[in-house]
Amino acid sequence: MTSTELAGTGRIISRLAYGCWRIAPDAEFAGTRGRAAVLAAYEAGYTLFDHADIYGNGRAEEIFGKVLRGVGGMRERVLIATKCGVRKAGDPTGNAPHRYDLSREHILRSCEESLRRLGVDQIDLYQLHRPDWLMDPGEIAAAFEELRAAGKVAEFGVSNFTPTQVSTLQRACPMQLRVNQVEISLARQAPFIDGTLEHCLAEKMTPLAWSPLAGGLLAEGANRVLPSQTAYRTTDILRVIDRIGTANGLSRSEIALAWLLRHPAGIVPIIGSVQPDRIWSAVAATQCELAREDWYRILEAARGECLP
């Protein structure tokens, strides 16, 4: 696994991150296959582990914390990222709606709960999961400053924010926001054209790519896609990346990841498979630098039309 720097922090992270969303769909899975997936990622060289307080209703953080305590030296070698701000229906009362909450109180409470579940004293990277229409940048900045001063969080970032939302929050924050985590893949090209990646370049932020293989549609099969991904059309993309993959001795998923890694913004794809063989095989993408010509061949297939 190759490595890169996390957005000017001096912290070195693996070129691919491991996403823990799928490791805890239920208690039985979390205790067996979920633990095996985390261990496979660690052994394969992944050092940035992506979490959120809502993944498995907190079970993902708990199972990761158990692995962390059971593997000597692991805490010193990995960076833990987690997110807050999404509140599901019924939280905290039965009639509460699904909503986003970036109030100071919720940020601080969520951080304490994540620290407890993970079993650590400090979160390396703490992110706002989704923009809250009622968010007050000054209030968020105050919460961040409180967490930093208490030593509970080292670095901060956002997820699913537009460039304008990031800039608005950054103006209020005394600390540099380090990442913006958004959906980026050959099937979801919006960040290439809406200014997200250029903004990350300009502000020296690391773009983290969730669902870089479109829920598996760009890999060897999808078994859990989001509703927004059901309309993705990948037949033409697969035809081209399979051809280029054959020429380079790589699978379609490895070519799809290499395509993201080629971008100068320094995209860090988040691998979410719980199958150890796929977790390991993804690492091969970090050794492949696509030729510019192949990169544009793939882009054309993804666009479904020739460049202007």
User: How does pLDDT run across 106-117, given as a tens digit for each residue?
Assistant: 999 999 999 999
What is the rounded distance in angstroms from the CA atom of residue 107 to the CA atom of residue 259? Answer: 35
Provide mean pLDDT across the span 10-29: 90
Cα-based angle 117, 120, 123 (whole degrees, multiple of 5): 95
What is the rounded distance in angstroms from the CA atom of residue 100 to the CA atom of residue 87? Answer: 6
Q: Would you tell me how many other CB atoms lie within 10 Å of the CB of residue 55?
A: 22
- pLDDT band at residue 30 using 50, 70 and 90 as cut-offs: low
- pLDDT band at residue 178 using 50, 70 and 90 as cut-offs: very high
pLDDT in tens, 37-85: 999 999 999 999 999 999 999 999 999 999 999 999 999 999 999 999 9
pTM of the model: 0.96
What is the rounded distance in angstroms from the CA atom of residue 239 to the CA atom of residue 123? Answer: 42
Contact predicate 34/88, CB 8 Å: no
Q: Would you tell me how many other CB atoms lie within 10 Å of the CB of residue 190?
A: 11
pLDDT in tens, 139-149: 999 999 999 99
Q: Would you tell me how many other CB atoms lie within 10 Å of the CB of residue 136?
A: 14
Give kind and range of the element (H or E) at residue 99. strand 99-100
Across the strands, what pairs with 269?
A: 209
What is the rounded distance in angstroms from the CA atom of residue 265 to the CA atom of residue 252? Answer: 22
Reply yes or no on whether the pLDDT at 224 is more than 80.
Answer: no
Structural domains in the chain? 3-219+263-288 (3.20.20.100)
Helical pair 252-261 and 292-303, crossing angle rounded to 10 deg: 110
The pLDDT value recorded for residue 37 is 96
Q: Would you tell me how many other CB atoms lie within 10 Å of the CB of residue 247?
A: 10
So which residues are the catalytic ones? Answer: 55
| Mean pLDDT over the full length of the chain | 95
